Each structure stands twice: as structure tokens, then as C-alpha cells.
Structure 1
Amino acid sequence: MFLRTRVPAALLTAVLVSTGVAVASPAAAEATVTIPSFYTPPATLPAADGTLIRTEPLPLALSLPGITGRLPGTATRIMYKSTDSAGQPVAVTGAYVEPAVPWSGPGARPLVVLAPGTMGQGDQCSTSLALQRGLIVGTEEDQLTVSIGYEVLAMYRMLLKGIAVVQTDYVGLGSTDRLHTYVNRVDEGHAVLDAARAARALPNTSITTNSLIGLYGYSQGGGAVASAAELQSSYAPDVRVTATYAGAPPANLADVTAAIDGSELTGALGWSVNGFMQSDPSLQPVVDKYLTDSGRTALRRLSTMCAGDALLAFAGKRSTEWTTSGKSVIDIVKVEPRLKSFIGDQLIGTRKPAGVVRVATGVSDNLVPHGQARTMAADWCDLGGKVVYAPVMLLPTISPLLNHAGPLLADQGAAIEWLGDRLAGNAAHSNCLILPLLP
């Protein structure tokens, strides 16, 4: 019912970010925007996870002239093979950027896998497409769509340090054969680890077998890299993760679901439910019996929306408006064993993570609640993980979205410096012993 094969191609208008920075290609400002054919996976996929399926040059919307080439570097759009939570092969898209500046640290140039924060569920929302087009404003299925490539700031900061970056679009975001499985921890963790494999397989890069590997993500991305750190030893032992920055991870979806209902990001509930049914179609009749016609319409609309669209259409709404009983999504999950089990399987913090992990969370964050992120860090400590817990102290506002977004910006510089130090071979000391004393 909510599954689709591909997003309709036409968007009304594409607008690039107005920054005064040079646009990579005049073609990026075309009047209509389509999902390029690159994003349609082939019928048959390779056997090995991380295998490159196809690549093409990716013109960056924001770039500057440099002495040895355009800054921040040369980008390649990639499609690679991964395995989803059902054990089935899946094609995932993303982008690799080779820095224009040299790596100043010791050893080979390091590689960071960047897992994006929430972009939405429509294929036009993918981060690799945003790198090319900057800001997209238009229509999608007769509704306004707005997508902003906000991850460019973190990516460019790393590139200008000489760190190579590969970014994943996640399962079903960009690739047109299925719906994005939003916050599915296994799909996201696998996509992150296989992005590192795909980057190492690219020809003519400065990445070597000796390149140290780091993971970086905030919000949805924080959960994705946290999951990847947990899954590395069993799924990708060849991807030796040195360090991970997991910012504001949605580690406990039950807590997060309750928190975002009625907030500016209520639409994310629809992406979650849609994604659950994509991952396990047998959940569809369980969900369907609770939905009103308006609830079905909301989920269908959200399946093609980006984060900007959802903010405009669903901010302040409650999931009780979608259900026949007037119960919220989290209340329904509590009484439906299959939904409760599925949500429980998404819990992050039950496996020792690889390498050292810096867990940052805003103490005032009440959108992706601080408490559940702190619990994940504490659980990792109990499992013997090497954890650097970093509570971010900002004054609370009346806006849950600002309480969540504030630490992203306030902590980003420190996070990238910390990750760069680890990739330069400098050790980090866990603060698990004092975590109980920290907020």
C-alpha cells in the first residue's frame, strides 16, 4: 500500500544555495529536476558487499578554484552493493570526495564515512543529489518539496583537513527500487560499512589499505554510525574502524517516537512506519487496521517528502490524528507485540562498539532525547567499549527542533577535531569511569 517502485521524476524548480560561491556547472540550475537514471539499480547485483556497481563524476554545487584543482575536491557518485536487514542484496548510492588538499598527518590519507542526518524519504532528498544541486525547491506528487544539503558543512570541514570522505544515501534513499528504510539500524549500519568498502575499491584515489577509517554522523546519522560500530566485528571485520563520532543518536526508538510526536518533526513518525513496512511487509496489515483514511494519506504523502516538506506540512501535528482509536503511534506499538518486537530490535547499545566512540548529546535535547543517548553510552561502557561521552550544555528553548539542532552546530568543530586527532594516530582516553557523574 505504501511501497513504491520509484519517485516520479519531475520537480518544478531547482534552486541552488545562494552563497556567492562558484557553481560547479550551469546544468545544476535547470528549470526542472529529475532523479537521474544513475539511481535506478540494475536487475542483478554483485555478490560481495561493498562492490561498486557503477560510478560517474559528480559536479559539486559549491566549489572554489584552487592551485591544484577545485576546492574542496573531486567528487564521484557511487552505487554499491549491500545487504539489508532481511539478508537480501540491495543497491545503495552515495558519493566519494577526494580532497584537493594533502593530508598533513602521519601515514596514509584517512577515510571518513559520513552518515547523513534526516533528509526525508523521497528519492529527491538524497544527500548525493544535494551535493550536486544544493537546495531543491519544487513540487513532488503535487506537493511542495524542499531539500537542503546541510551535511555539506561537516563534509567540507573534513575535506579541507585532507580527510577523504565517502557519504552514504542509505538503503532506498536515492535508489529508486524501494522506499527508504528510515532508522532501520541494520540497513543503516550495513550501508555505512559497505560505503567504506566501496570507497576503497574506487580507482585513482589516494586511499590505501593502510588508511585509517573513521565514522561521522549526527541524529539519524549518529544512529547509523553507532549501529555500524556495533556491527563491524560481525559484518565487516575487514573495515577496521579506528574512531566514531555519534552525535545525538536515536538509539531507543520507543523513546524517540514518544518525543517527536507533536513536535516540528512529527513527519518522521510516518517515515519510520513506512520504513518498517518496507523492511517487513507482514507489518502492513497490523498497521493498517489502526489507520484512518487521513492516516493512510499522510503516510503516502510523507513517503515522497523531504525534511523541509514535512516541517511545513506536519509540524505540531500528532499521530493521534491518523488512527481510528485516537491512540498515538507509541501507544499502538506498546499493545501490538509484533510492532513492539520490531522496535525493540532497533535498539542500539547492546553490542560492544569497534574502536573508540565519542558520543555527543545535547543535555537540553528533547527531540532525540538526551537520556536515551546517554543510556547508550553507559551501556557501551558496561560492555567494555571505549567511550568518550560528551554532554553538550546549551540553554533550552521552546523548540524541540532547535534543542536538537543546536548541539549539531555547537559541537561540530570539536567533533571534527576529535575525529581528526584519532585518524592522525593520537590516542583518546575513555571517560566511562566518570560518566555516572556527568549529566
Structure 2
Amino acid sequence: MRQIVVRAPRRVRRVALATVASTVLAAAVTATLPFAQAADFYTPPAQVGPAASQPGVLVRTQPMPSILPGRATRIMYMTSYQDEDPVAATGVVVEPGVPWGGGGPRPTVVIGPGTSGQGDQCAPSKNMGSPIGIDPGKRSVALNYVAPEALLYLNNGVRVVIVDYIGMGTPGVHTYLNRAEQGYAMIDAARAALKLANAPGDAPIGFSGYSQGGGAAAAAAELVGAYAPELDVRATYAGAPTADLISVIRKFDGGRNAGSIGYVLNGLAVRYPKLGPILDRELNPAGKAMLAAVANQCVVDTGNAYGFRRSNLWTTSGLSIGDLVMRTPALLKAFDDQRIGTKRPTAPVLLEGAPADDVVPYGQVRRLYDEWRAKGAAVTILTDGTPPILPGTGATHILAMPPNLVPGANYILSAFAG
């Protein structure tokens, strides 16, 4: 299989840190107030017929500014809830300004962003015009940190789609870390992007992401064979995938990402009606206030408000949320339903994990690798050696991302060229 070398500097970590620094500097000068823009775009039609509600159908499109090179288009497209009922979601398609040199039709990579938050203002497609979006009314800060990953593909002539996920920007609650809904949103974004570009339906597809995005990419990899068998998926890169939700929230607990437990509970509560009364009974006033607050926050806001809290402070029993899940059958089922690794991916997958990761536990990444291998999947694991840095702050998790984007992109680009 011919290797296409990603156009990226050799000293990835140094460049990545420089990119972060320049992004922050640029944000200080160019931060915009994008949240009120195109508000009507995110409201789906009141009624759609059966044909218009099929997965992957484009509902509407809109040219938009972007810090990425190429032609950016905001899209609304149809995808599916976990029960496969139709729902609209949004995202961004970026058509690169350079040709694809690998032969055949231009490939498409669908990128699942890492955790943005749960408020509508956090949707990546609302924040593509600048590195940072600020909503003064909500005192909210949204980060656009998918650019480095997207650039690796755009600079090689690969079309990029960045998803918002279900309920992010569009009506309803964002179902954070919901296996089926994140996977379906990724898969249907690929279908929609091919339609937008008038590309062949069998043009090569790849899935990529880190953290929440790694979980979304991994879910798409194992769901696409049954859900969208017509797609020509060549490879997936899933960095720090959130494959075992119980392990993940236990890792969140007490760290900078503690409030993200609230994102999980809010999302599950809207899909599992039995959970509402349970949470109402088991959460104390502080816990209920936390759920209400984080539903309208971006991840920076949530970290500032609830970082380093212990979840036992939010329950009537004094149990941690993880322990509460384990002793409550309805909660346990909802969490178990989100476990990735129950189906075999139909195309090769590169997993990445760091033993010192202080947000996404490495053990559940390794377990996903073992489960997929046992099912006969073509899966490889890349173990990152980033040492513990300010444990609990998310620093190790963040710093483990940039150096692995290049091997991840090379993995997918090589599959496209094969």
C-alpha cells in the first residue's frame, strides 16, 4: 500500500504547542461573537416527508467563513437517534483548495471533535471563523481546536467534514458520548458531504477523532457496516476513544472534567425516560443545579465552574456517580448501551491511548483493542508515552493529542492510496 506522507513538520510537539500559542494570541485579537449568527439555520423544518428524512439527506447549506483553507459550507443533514428515528444535525464541510494526488475520486475524512460542551453555542460549526467564540450573554467561551487535525487532510487534498453531533446547535439536548448517536452523526455526515460535492457514492471515506471524537470515530467504525454498507470506508483513527462510559466518568470524577459527568447524565436522561425519576431521587440540590447549569455551558465554562469536584457531593447518598450507576440497574443498562467494542469494524482501525492520560483511561482503550481483535478486526494500537503532567488538570490528555495526529493521518491517507 503506497504511503502518502502528510505535510507536517518533523517536530510535531513543538509545532503543536506553537500552534496553540499562536491560536491564543490570534484569539485575543480576532475573537468574534458568532453565536447569534445564522440562528435560523439551526432550526430544522417543522415537517419533512419520508424521502427528505432519510439518513444523509441534505436539508440546507450555507457558505461560511472559516479559519481553515478551502471552501467551507455549513450543512444541516438528516441522521438518526439511537432508535434510528430521524433527526437533523449540523456540521461543516471544507472542500480543499489543492487537488487530491492519490488517484481516483477525492476522499473524505469525517472528524469528530473532542468535548466542546453541551450548550448550543458550543457547536463547532458556529465557531469556525475564529479560534475562540465568546457569548457575553451566557458568559461562555467556546474553543475551535479541530483545525490542526483538519489541516493535515486539507493540505493533502482530502475533503473534511466536522460534525456538531446531535443536539449541539440544533434543538434538544446534546447526547454526550452516546455511542449510536455519535456514530450515526459521523456516518451520515459522510453521506451528506458526498452529496454536497456531487462525489461518487463509493468515494473513499475515513473517520478520525480524539477523546469524544475518538469515541465517535470508533463507534462509526463498528456501526457503518450495518448502518451504511454502501460507503467505502477505508480506515479509522480513534485517539483516546471513550469506549467504556463507566470507566470514563470515574476518571472524570475529581478532575478538571468532573462537570462533564453532568453532560453524560443530561444526555442519557433524554433517551432513557426511566432515568429522570431516578436522578431526581438520587441527586441532591447541588447535583440538580449542576445538571441544569452544564446543559448550557461549553467545556471551558464547566471546568471553571465544577472542575476538581467530587461527584459524591452531588448525591443524596454520598455515593459517587460511578458507584450509583453500579448499584442502579436502569442507570447501569443505559451506561452499558454506550460501550464500544460489541461489533467488528469492517475496515482497519488505528487506536491510540496514553497510560498516563488523566481524562480518558488507557485501560478501556486497551480493552477495546483486545475486544476488536478477538472479533477478527484489523486493528492496531499506538501507545503514547507522554508522562504525567499536572495530573487531573487534563494536561496529559491534551499534550498526548498533537504528536499522534500525524501518524493517525498517515494511517488514513495510506489506506486511501492503497
- 8 Å contact kept, 1:171–1:180: yes
Q: Which of 276, 301, 305 lines up with 2:293 in the alignment? A: 301
Task: Please give the alpha-carbon distance, in whole angstroms, between the structure 2 residues aligned to 1:334 and 1:209.
Answer: 44
1:49 matched to 2:55? The reply is yes
1:416 matched to 2:413? The reply is no
1:188 matched to 2:182? The reply is yes
Quote the residue 2:387 is aligned against: 395
Check 1:379–1:31 CA distance in 2 against 1; reply closer, same or farther (3 A cut). Answer: closer
1:306 offset after TM fit, Å? Answer: 0.4
- 8 Å contact kept, 1:193–1:236: yes
Q: Which of 250, 253, 256 lines up with 2:248 in the alignment? A: 256
1:372 matched to 2:364? The reply is yes
The AA in structure 1 aligned to 2:89 is V
**Unmatched tracts of structure 1, length 5 or more:** 1-15, 64-71, 426-439
Q: Which moved more, 1:28-37 or 1:264-273?
A: 28-37
1:346 matched to 2:346? The reply is no
- 8 Å contact kept, 2:27–2:132: no
Check 1:154–1:206 CA distance in 2 against 1; reply closer, same or farther (3 A cut). Answer: farther
Check 1:34–1:409 CA distance in 2 against 1; reply closer, same or farther (3 A cut). Answer: same
Quote the residue 1:9 is aligned against: none
Task: Please give the alpha-carbon distance, in whole angstroms, between the structure 1 residues aligned to 2:320 and 2:366.
Answer: 25
Task: Please give the alpha-carbon distance, in whole angstroms, between the structure 1 residues aligned to 2:29 and 2:407.
Answer: 28
1:221 offset after TM fit, Å? Answer: 0.6
For residues 119-141 of structure 1, give each alpha carbon's deviation from its aligned partner in whole angstroms, at most 9, with x where no partner exists: 00001101111113431223454
1:59 matched to 2:51? The reply is no
1:40 matched to 2:43? The reply is yes
Task: Please give the alpha-carbon distance, in whole angstroms, between the structure 1 residues aligned to 2:85 and 2:272.
Answer: 12
Give the TM-score normalised by the residue count of structure 1: 0.86
Check 1:140–1:304 CA distance in 2 against 1; reply closer, same or farther (3 A cut). Answer: farther
1:118 matched to 2:115? The reply is yes
Task: Please give the alpha-carbon distance, in whole angstroms, between the structure 1 residues aligned to 2:34 and 2:88.
Answer: 29
- 8 Å contact kept, 2:112–2:217: yes
1:366 offset after TM fit, Å? Answer: 3.2
1:397 offset after TM fit, Å? Answer: 1.9
The AA in structure 2 aligned to 1:416 is A
- 8 Å contact kept, 1:35–1:124: no
Give the TM-score normalised by the residue count of structure 2: 0.90
Work out the number of aligned pairs and report it: 392
Q: Secondary structure at the match of 1:167?
A: strand
Quote the residue 1:137 is aligned against: 134
Quote the residue 2:157 is aligned against: 162
Task: Please give the alpha-carbon distance, in whole angstroms, between the structure 1 residues aligned to 2:291 and 2:37.
Answer: 23
1:242 matched to 2:234? The reply is yes
Greater relative contact order (CA < 8 Å, ≥ 6 in sequence)? 2
For residues 65-98 of structure 1, give each alpha carbon's deviation from its aligned partner in whole angstroms, at most 9, with x where no partner exists: xxxxxxx100100001111013321110001000
Task: Please give the alpha-carbon distance, in whole angstroms, between the structure 2 residues aligned to 1:116 and 1:20.
Answer: 19
Q: Which of 98, 113, 122 lines up with 1:101 in the alignment? A: 98
Quote the residue 1:229 is aligned against: 221
- 8 Å contact kept, 2:113–2:163: yes
The AA in structure 2 aligned to 1:365 is D
Check 1:232–1:32 CA distance in 2 against 1; reply closer, same or farther (3 A cut). Answer: closer
Task: Please give the alpha-carbon distance, in whole angstroms, between the structure 2 residues aligned to 1:347 and 1:49.
Answer: 23
Task: Please give the alpha-carbon distance, in whole angstroms, between the structure 2 residues aligned to 1:231 and 1:350.
Answer: 10
Q: Secondary structure at the match of 2:397?
A: helix
Task: Please give the alpha-carbon distance, in whole angstroms, between the structure 1 residues aligned to 2:165 and 2:140.
Answer: 20
1:82 matched to 2:76? The reply is no
Task: Please give the alpha-carbon distance, in whole angstroms, between the structure 2 residues aligned to 1:82 and 1:320.
Answer: 36
Task: Please give the alpha-carbon distance, in whole angstroms, between the structure 1 residues aligned to 2:321 and 2:272.
Answer: 17
Task: Please give the alpha-carbon distance, in whole angstroms, between the structure 1 residues aligned to 2:105 and 2:363.
Answer: 38
The AA in structure 1 aligned to 2:403 is A
Task: Please give the alpha-carbon distance, in whole angstroms, between the structure 2 residues aligned to 1:338 and 1:347.
Answer: 15
Quote the residue 1:326 is aligned against: 318
- 8 Å contact kept, 1:247–1:361: yes
- 8 Å contact kept, 2:121–2:135: no
Of all paired residues, the percent bearing the same amino acid is: 38
Check 1:119–1:413 CA distance in 2 against 1; reply closer, same or farther (3 A cut). Answer: same
Q: Which of 297, 302, 305 lines up with 1:313 in the alignment? A: 305
Q: Secondary structure at the match of 2:400?
A: helix
Q: Which of 343, 348, 358 lines up with 2:350 in the alignment? A: 358
The AA in structure 1 aligned to 2:55 is D
For residues 174-213 of structure 1, give each alpha carbon's deviation from its aligned partner in whole angstroms, at most 9, with x where no partner exists: 11x20100000000011010001101111xx373334211
Q: Secondary structure at the match of 1:241?
A: strand
Quote the residue 1:432 is aligned against: none
Q: Secondary structure at the match of 2:349?
A: strand
- 8 Å contact kept, 1:147–1:308: yes
Check 1:321–1:21 CA distance in 2 against 1; reply closer, same or farther (3 A cut). Answer: closer
1:393 offset after TM fit, Å? Answer: 1.1
Q: Secondary structure at the match of 1:259?
A: helix
For residues 17-76 of structure 1, give each alpha carbon's deviation from its aligned partner in whole angstroms, at most 9, with x where no partner exists: 6439997xxxx845984562101111123231110011110111x25xxxxxxxx10010
Task: Please give the alpha-carbon distance, in whole angstroms, between the structure 2 residues aligned to 1:125 and 1:237.
Answer: 32
Task: Please give the alpha-carbon distance, in whole angstroms, between the structure 2 residues aligned to 1:108 and 1:22.
Answer: 39
- 8 Å contact kept, 1:140–1:304: no
Check 1:76–1:405 CA distance in 2 against 1; reply closer, same or farther (3 A cut). Answer: same
Check 1:421–1:31 CA distance in 2 against 1; reply closer, same or farther (3 A cut). Answer: closer
Q: Secondary structure at the match of 1:132?
A: coil
Q: Which moved more, 1:389-398 or 1:243-252?
A: 389-398
For residues 214-241 of structure 1, give each alpha carbon's deviation from its aligned partner in whole angstroms, at most 9, with x where no partner exists: 0001100111111111111111111221
